[in-house]
Chains A and B, each alone.
Chain A
Amino acid sequence: MSARSQTKPVHTMTTLKVREGFAPYLYQAPTAVLMAVLLLFPIITVVRYSLFDNVITNKHPVFVGLANYFNILTNEVFWTSLFNTLFFTVFSVVFHLIIGLGFALLLNSKVVNSIVKGLLRVFYIMPWVFTVTIIAIIWRLLLDPSGVVNYVLEALNVTNTRPEWLSSTELALFALTFVNIWAGYPFYMVSLLAGLQGIPTELYEAAEIDGANEAQKFWSITIPQLSPIILSIAMLDFIWTMQVFPLVWMTTGGGPIHATEVLGTFTYKQAFASYQFSVASACAVIILVISLCMAFFYVKHQKVRD
Chain B
Amino acid sequence: MKKAFILGLFLSLLSSFTLSAAPVTIEFIQWWAPELPAGAFRAIMDDFEAANPGIKVNLVSGPYSQTRDQIVTGAATGTLSDVVGLDGAWVNDLAKQGAITNLDPLMAADNYDKSQIAAIIKLNNKSYMFPVASFVYPLFVNLDLLKAAGIDKAPSTRSEFISAARKLTSAGKNQYGYVLPLSLQSPNGVQNDIMSWVWAGGKSMLKGGKPDLTNPDVISALKFIQQLYKEGLVSPGSFAKQEQDKVEEFVNGRVAMMVDTLAHINMIRQRNPNLNFAVSAVPAPDGYTGARGLPYAAWGIGIAENSTHKAEAWKLVSYLMSPAVNSKLVSIAHAFPGNVKATPDWFANDALFTKGFEIFKAGRLANEFTGLPVAEDLMRQFDEQIQTMLDGKQTAEQAAAKAQASWMKSF
Contact = CB atoms under 8 A, between A and B. Distances in A.
B174 A146 contact: yes
B376 interface: yes
B265 interface: no
B22 interface: no
Contacts of A162: 236
B340 interface: no
Interface in B142-186: 174, 182-186
Interface string B368-411: 00000010110010011001100100000000000000000010
Nearest to B185: A253
The interface size bin for chain A is 20 to 34
Interface stretch (A39-47, A127-135, A213-221, A271-279): A271-279
The CB with the most chain A CB atoms within 10 A, among B72, B235, B240, B380, is that of B240
The 10 closest A-B pairs by CB, nearest first: A253-B185, A256-B239, A167-B239, A255-B184, A253-B184, A145-B236, A167-B240, A56-B76, A166-B240, A273-B377
Contacts of B254: 146
Contacts of B270: none
A3 B187 CA distance: 86
Contacts of A255: 182-185, 239-240, 383-384, 387
Nearest to B374: A274
Interface of B: 69, 72, 75-76, 93, 96-98, 174, 182-187, 235-241, 245, 254, 374, 376-377, 380, 383-384, 387-388, 391, 410
A75 B334 CA distance: 45
15 contacts: A57-B97, A146-B236, A166-B240, A167-B237, A167-B238, A167-B239, A168-B239, A249-B185, A250-B185, A253-B185, A253-B187, A257-B384, A269-B380, A275-B374, A277-B76
Contacts of B236: 145-146, 162, 164, 167
B237 A166 contact: yes
Contacts of B410: 274
A256 B387 contact: yes
A169 interface: yes
A260 to B, nearest CB: 9
B190 to A, nearest CB: 12
A135 B179 CA distance: 25
A180 interface: no
A273 B376 contact: yes
Contacts of A269: 377, 380
Given A256-B391, A272-B72, A57 B93 contact: yes
B226 to A, nearest CB: 15
A273 B72 contact: no
Given A168-B239, A272-B69, 17 more contacts: A57-B93, A57-B97, A59-B98, A140-B240, A164-B236, A164-B239, A167-B240, A250-B185, A253-B183, A253-B184, A253-B240, A256-B184, A256-B239, A256-B387, A257-B239, A257-B388, A258-B384
Contacts of A144: 237, 245
A251 interface: yes
A251 B376 CA distance: 18
A282 interface: no
A136 B193 CA distance: 24
B240 to A, nearest CB: 4
A251 B183 CA distance: 9
Contacts of A253: 183-187, 240
A164 B384 CA distance: 17
A68 interface: no
B377 A256 contact: no
Contact of A169 (B76, B97, B182, B391): B391
A221 to B, nearest CB: 46
Contacts of A146: 174, 236-237, 254
B247 to A, nearest CB: 14
Interface in A235-255: 249-255
A193 interface: no
B123 to A, nearest CB: 15
Nearest to A150: B236
Interface in A259-277: 269, 272-275, 277
A130 B323 CA distance: 48
B377 A145 contact: no
Contacts of A256: 184, 239-240, 387, 391
B184 A252 contact: yes
A255 B69 CA distance: 21
A172 interface: yes
A272 B70 CA distance: 11
Contacts of B377: 269, 273-274
Contacts of A56: 76
Contact of B183 (A57, A168, A252, A258): A252
Contacts of B75: 57
Contacts of A252: 183-185, 239-240
A99 B265 CA distance: 47
Contacts of B376: 273
